[in-house]
Amino acid sequence: RVQTARKLNLQSLKTMLEAQGVPFPPAGVFLRVFKQEELLEFWARGGGAARYQLIRSYPICAASGVPGPKRREGDLQVPEGFYLIDDFNPWSRFELSLHLNYPNASDRMLGMPGRLGGDIFIHGSCASIGCLAMTDGVIRDLYLACIAAWANGQRGIPVHIFPKRLNEAGMEALRLEYSTRPDLLAFWEGLKPGFDYFEAHRHLPRVRVAPDGRYRVTPP
């Protein structure tokens, strides 16, 4: 399947990157997801201090659940927070798949002990039970870009998953829609600094997890 992906998608992927001034293989790849907008953004950068460039925005083909983090196995939720792609599956039942490191340290502290679940992927085939499903053509683009960046030295491909764009308008919309859920609003306020930093700098912030499970975002 990887060979097929290279045959079908590699040249167009290189063209997409080069159109934004990013050589192939990229020095870094970053994926950003907005659940309510049903959108996955593919960012990449060249070497050195190069800023990330938006290569393409892809519609998410299928995703289960509602806004909010994943807290237990079987809740059908797509996670929210700051994750990494830490493995690649070229033999996936869903064309190709990119494994997320869910549960991360925050999830382990704040989720249901012993029942957090796992096996969360970005994959093809347009069917989802807690995963982010793209079309087969899109997952070929993403898979090739991620393995190229990995081979070029990037260990762990960052994936930031938000309920929606967490600018002021987005936060105000969430405050109105979820006024009876202070727990969710507090969680999203904790994600907003990560969104804001990347919007301002086009570099990735440093993300830590505090002893209470909340994210702490600082400059790199």
Catalytic residues: 123, 131
Positive or negative CA dihedral for 34, 37, 42, 45?
negative
> How many whole angstroms separate alpha carbon 31 and alpha carbon 65?
20
Evaluate the omega torsion of the peptide bond into residue 113 and state whether it is cis, within 30 degrees of 0: no
Of 133, 140, 139, 185, whose CA–CA distance to 163 is shortest?
185
Number of helices and strands in the chain (H, E) = 5, 11
Dist. CA 98–CA 92, nearest whole Å? 9
Encoded tokens for 204: 């990735």
Residue 110's alpha-carbon distances to 20, 21, 27, 33, 48, in angstroms, are: 39, 41, 33, 21, 36
In the numeric block, the tokens 């929606």 are attached to 164
Helices (H), the chain: 2-19, 105-110, 136-151, 168-177, 182-201
Tokens of 161: 């998953």
